[in-house]
């Protein structure tokens, strides 16, 4: 009788950003997360502005969590803009966003802040009944705000956006909120819901109302849906790393022209991918990694 051997688990850490990239394009995932090709972003880029907005809101929320008044919290947020932003136009835009945010939402005194920038990592569940595998995945996350409101606990994510979303339907399929929601429950918090908090970063020529500039959209998922979202994330990661291993093995065996598949999409490739020009050059027969290096990219294995 043959004894079944259970594989020794190998744990890999993934983030929601990586999972989202896996779902966009295998080539983009390989370049960004396996090979670690990165490029510095300007403060005015979507990533640069989003990072700065999170820093402003982190300073704001941290001050409020310590019991500060709204004017003191405002000073903390403005200090980030004054000391960490070098581009005057970006500083002006962030000030416009932040001042409007304070006018719209104030200090949210009916919220009890439980944590700001709550970081952690939890083990993603493989689907029930899945064959034994050595690959396991931990979800690395950072929740912008965990708070209690009307006797219930919520997770909130701050977003800077070109346009505010319309309606709730898009969020039914936004797994970032589902995964952060699920992750908080794994840390022991009885979370009731998640909340999108959007701040518009584009100005019109006319004066804009606060409702045109800011939105908060609550959402709720039951335990079965949260489990499904987490299992879907595990499967996404499993097949992505199985593919990476397969391509790597093919290259070891001497396949010189093997490349990760491109999932081209004329809309997403235009605004969601830093590697689009290298992708096109590679498809035309040029060495895309040489092209990346020649256009300011570098490999940085110190980051996740």
Domain edges within the chain: 12-39+233-299, 46-124+134-221
CATH 3.40.630.10 for domain 46-124+134-221, yes or no, is no
pLDDT tens, position by position, for the chain (304 residues)? 444 444 456 899 999 999 999 999 999 999 999 999 999 999 999 999 999 999 999 999 999 999 999 999 999 999 999 999 999 999 999 999 999 999 999 999 999 999 999 999 999 999 998 988 888 999 999 999 999 999 999 999 999 999 998 765 578 888 999 999 999 999 999 999 999 999 999 999 899 999 999 999 999 999 999 999 999 999 999 999 999 999 999 989 888 788 899 999 988 888 889 999 999 999 999 999 999 999 999 999 876 5
pTM (whole model) above 0.75: yes
DSSP 46: H
């Amino acid at each position: 009788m043959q004894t079944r051997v259970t594989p020794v688990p190998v744990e890999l850490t993934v983030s929601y950003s990586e999972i989202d990239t896996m779902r966009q394009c295998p080539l983009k995932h390989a370049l960004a997360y396996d090979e670690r090709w990165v490029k510095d972003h300007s403060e005015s880029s979507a990533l640069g502005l989003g990072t700065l907005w999170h820093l402003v809101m982190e300073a704001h929320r941290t001050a409020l969590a310590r019991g500060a008044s709204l004017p003191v919290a405002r000073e903390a947020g403005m200090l980030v803009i004054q000391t960490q932003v070098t581009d005057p136009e970006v500083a002006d835009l962030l000030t416009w966003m932040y001042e409007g945010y304070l006018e719209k939402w104030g200090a949210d005194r009916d919220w009890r802040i439980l944590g700001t920038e709550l970081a952690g990592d939890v083990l993603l569940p493989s689907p029930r009944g899945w064959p034994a595998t050595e690959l396991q995945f931990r979800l690395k996350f950072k929740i912008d705000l965990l708070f209690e409101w009307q006797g219930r606990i919520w997770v909130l994510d701050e977003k800077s956006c070109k346009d505010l979303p319309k309606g709730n339907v898009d969020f039914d399929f936004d797994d970032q909120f589902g995964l952060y929601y699920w992750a908080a429950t794994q840390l022991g918090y009885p979370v009731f819901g998640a909340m999108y908090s959007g701040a518009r970063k584009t100005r019109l020529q006319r004066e804009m109302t606060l409702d045109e500039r800011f939105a908060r959209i609550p959402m709720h998922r039951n335990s079965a849906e949260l489990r499904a979202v987490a299992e879907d994330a595990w499967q996404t990661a499993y097949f992505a790393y199985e593919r990476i291993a397969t391509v790597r093995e093919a290259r070891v065996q001497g396949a010189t022209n093997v490349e990760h598949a491109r999932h081209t999409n004329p809309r997403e490739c235009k605004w969601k991918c830093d590697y689009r020009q290298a992708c096109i050059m590679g498809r035309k027969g040029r060495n895309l990694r040489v092209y990346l290096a020649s256009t300011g990219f570098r490999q940085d294995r110190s980051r996740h």
